[in-house]
Structure 1
Amino acid sequence: MRVSRMTIAALAVVAGLSLTACQNGDAATDRNDSGASSAASAPSSANGGSSSGDSAQDTAKDSNKDSSKDQGTVAGTGSNKGGKVGKCRTDELEVTAKDATIGGDKDGTVAVEFTNGGGRDCAISGYAGVDLKTNAGSLSAKRTGEQAPSVVLKDGRSVSFAITYPVNDSGGSGVRITGLVVTPPDETKSVSLDWPGGSSLPVTDGSGTPVKVGPIGSAGQGG
């Protein structure tokens, strides 16, 4: 009977040990599953970190692009506001006129020169307004119709245009010229000059002006 009791006790101990081992095994399995689960979620965290890094890099790239644009604007500005070349104003131009008639030509020529003294580059194109003062009243020159180039006139540089008129070889006094009025293109302020050409024009039948004006640049561009 004593032997049977010992056997039963021994079996109980073995069963207890087996139960403990099973519980420890299950706990280890749970820990392994938890670790595996954490490891499985790690790539998502890593991807999240990469995405944040890409976002920061994109922000830096965009910032660099914006910075480049700003530098481009500054570099293109030069001495003119906003990088644009404004038109030449009458007050910025020194206006002079001289006789440019070539011997043998049937018409006389006067060259009018604009010199940029405004301290900045400026744009000028088209036709200047030209009026001759005469003893018979004011006489407006007619445009030749030539194409007018666009000119960026550097500070200190000059550009000219030509006025042509018929030479008075009639033997009579003709129409006496007393002065010249020039208005730069796209301006309303005029400059009055002495007339450097022939002293008179032949009398016409009044059908039209005999005086013609060429576009800016038609008499060459000086230095």
Structure 2
Amino acid sequence: MKYTRITALAAISLAATLSLTACGNDASGKNSSSQGSSSSASSSDGGSKSESGTGSASSTSSSSSSSGGSSKSEGGSGSGEDTKAGAANGATTTGSKVTFCKTEDLAIDAQDSSPDATTGTIDITMMNRGSTTCSASGFAGVDIKDSDHTSEPIPRGHAVPRITTLKPGDAAVFNLSYTIDPSGNSLTHPTNIEVTPPNETHTVSLKWPAGAGQIKGSYADVEVYPTHTTN
């Protein structure tokens, strides 16, 4: 009888232990589940904040980029319009192009203009007898013809050409310069001056001016200078 009571008590104690163990496991499970749920909720909230922050930054960046792009576009458009306007103004102020004077429209003559007995100067004048304004800027081509029927080209002097624009009736002049030989034994005997106006191909033959001093040396020692206006 005593053995039976001990056995029954042992069975009741074992049952109680198993019950407590089961309760502990259940509580532990609930706590674990609760923590997992809380962690999941926290993670979800964090993700939401992250997305919100990203969206805000993206929106700000997009807005800034859009604003900057619009500003640049407007600036570029303004610059282009200013450039076009400037080009248009330049085009309207350029004016019409002046053509070169043609030989047939020029009255050309030569005269002695020597300032003294040692410096020989021959002025060659070209007057515009045409009906339009023309340019006679630059060096004329000049050959001197000798009494032996030969001719020599005259080299250019060291001078910078000037702009020489001739209205109808205006005149331009250029000169030949040389040293006069007073001995009377010059080896040159010029008879004609062959003149081709600047930027032209047609030539006019002029008489060597009467009374002009003789040339010292050769025709290579004579120099031609660029045209300029007489005004």
Quickly name the TM-score band, shorter chain normalised: 0.5 to 0.7
RMSD: 4.6
Letter in 1 for 2:164: L
Q: Which of residues 164, 173, 176 in structure 2 aligns to 1:153?
A: 164
Matched, 1:222 2:222: no
Paired with 1:133 and 1:49, the residues of 2 have a C-alpha distance of 85
Change (3 A) 1:193 1:92: closer
How far has the Cα of 1:134 moved from its partner?
Answer: 4.6
User: Which of 54, 71, 78 is the matching residue for 1:57?
Assistant: 71
1:47 paired with 2:57, answer no
Query: In 2, are the aligned partners of 1:145 and 1:214 still within 8 Å (CA)?
Result: yes
Match of 1:69 among 83, 86, 90: 83
Equivalent residue for 1:99, pick from 82, 95, 111: 111
Mapped contact 2:140–2:197 kept (Cα < 8 A): yes
Instruction: Answer 1 or 2: which has greater helix percent.
Output: 2
- Structure 2 Cα separation of the partners of residues 198 and 161 of structure 1: 18
Structure number with greater Rg is 2
Identity between Structure 1 and Structure 2 (%): 17
Structure 2 counterpart SS, 1:57: helix
Question: Cα deviation per residue 1:6-63 (whole Å; 9 max; x = unaligned)?
Answer: xxxxxxxxxxxxxxxxxxxx9xx98xx9799557624532432332232233233223
TM-score, normalization by structure 2: 0.53
Unaligned segments of structure 1, at least 5 residues: 1-25
Give TM-score, length-normalised by structure 1: 0.54
Verify: 1:111 aligned to 2:123, yes or no.
Answer: yes
The one-letter code sitting in structure 1 at the alignment partner of 2:193 is L
Name the one with the larger strand percent.
1
Per the TM alignment, residue 176 of structure 1 is displaced from its structure 2 partner at its CA by: 5.9
Q: Does 1:130 align with 2:138?
A: no
- The whole-number CA distance in structure 2 between the counterparts of 1:139 and 1:194 is 13
